[in-house]
Amino acid sequence: MPSNKLFARYPFYEQAFQAPEYHIRNYTRIFKEVFKKPLRSLREDFAGTLWFSTEWVRSAPDRSAIAVEIDPVPIEYGRQTHLATLDAEQQKRLKILERDVRVVTNPKVQVVSAGNESCLLLTKREELKDYFRAAYRSLTDDGLMILEVEGGPASAIILQDREHFLKDNKPWFTSVWDQQDFDPITNVGRFAVHFEFPDGKVMKNAFVYQARIWTIADLKELAEEAGFSDVYVYWEHCIDEVWMGDYMRIDIAPPVDEGWSCYVVAVKGKSRIKKSKRPIKYRIPARYKK
């Protein structure tokens, strides 16, 4: 296990906020739906500890990834914790770049992705548009930019939300999502994460983000301005207040009490999805009906 003190927070972050297997499954399905061909190469932006990219290259021998992250600390944690679990051939299929995401990369990839609301860290319109332009230019002729985003009334207020995690059926830690500040004029807030432990210790402000709660309409418009031809919304199912990690392409969203979560999927090239005669309305799939 890495010994650097700065590394201590990452295992709790990964457990509380990441699930690479969902995104591997969803990106593969969405790419197939849009272009009728398999997804092999992707770029993970805001890559943090490289966990998603590592699992992507592990998931099949013809898959490759470029991970782009500006902070050397999570990259080093990722090298020691995740990259080290790949064999030499798998490691060759993962390129790590310590760079700002507003960079054009080569070789071109089929998907550029930003997980966990990370694109909301770009709070100025020009910054986000520069990012979308760089993503567009880094994609192959048939390519997708996939942004995982959240929003809704609950994102725009001061609140704390606690989630408890177990290990071997015993309390392990509590993750506290702390919305400390929100300015409705700029739509920018300060969002922090603390970790609490059964022995009373607290890792306060383990992560702190300044983020803008962009609307889906803004993201769509900016993606179109950056050159993308279509923009789809894949809505995450939330059943009995549990986010399912499972998404449906829709044109008309359901009413939202507190929050929503979706992928904004911007298309470079020609989508093979046929335009439906009527806009697609959200519905709860039969598999979730009791």
Ligand X SMILES: C[S@@+](CC[C@H](N)C(=O)[O-])C[C@H]1O[C@@H](n2cnc3c(N)ncnc32)[C@H](O)[C@@H]1O
| Length of the chain, in residues | 290
User: Which segment (68-76, 163-171, 228-236, 240-248) binds ligand X by CB under 6 A?
Assistant: 68-76
Check if the beta carbon of residue 127 is closer than 8 Å to that of residue 158. Answer: no
CB of 50 to ligand X, least distance (A): 8
3-state secondary structure of 196: strand
Positive or negative, the Cα torsion across 240, 243, 245, 250? positive
118 is a site residue for ligand X (CB under 6 A): yes
Q: Is 260 among the residues that bind ligand X (CB under 6 A)?
A: no
Q: Of residues 100, 150, 218, 224, which one binds ligand X by CB under 6 A? A: 100
**CB of residue 78 vs ligand X: minimum separation in angstroms?**
10
How many other β-carbons are positioned within 10 Å of the β-carbon of residue 50? Answer: 24
Angle at 9 between CA 177 and CA 27, to 5 degrees: 70
Of the residues 116, 123, 140, 174, which one makes contact with ligand X according to CB under 6 A: 116
Chosen residue from 60, 70, 86, 250 binding ligand X by CB under 6 A: 70
115 lies in the binding site for ligand X (CB under 6 A):
yes
CA distance 146 to 30: 10
Residue selected from 30, 47, 146, 265 as contacting ligand X according to rule CB under 6 A = 47
First to last CA, the chain: 44
Binding site for ligand X (CB under 6 A): 17-18, 46-48, 68-71, 74, 100-101, 115-116, 118, 121
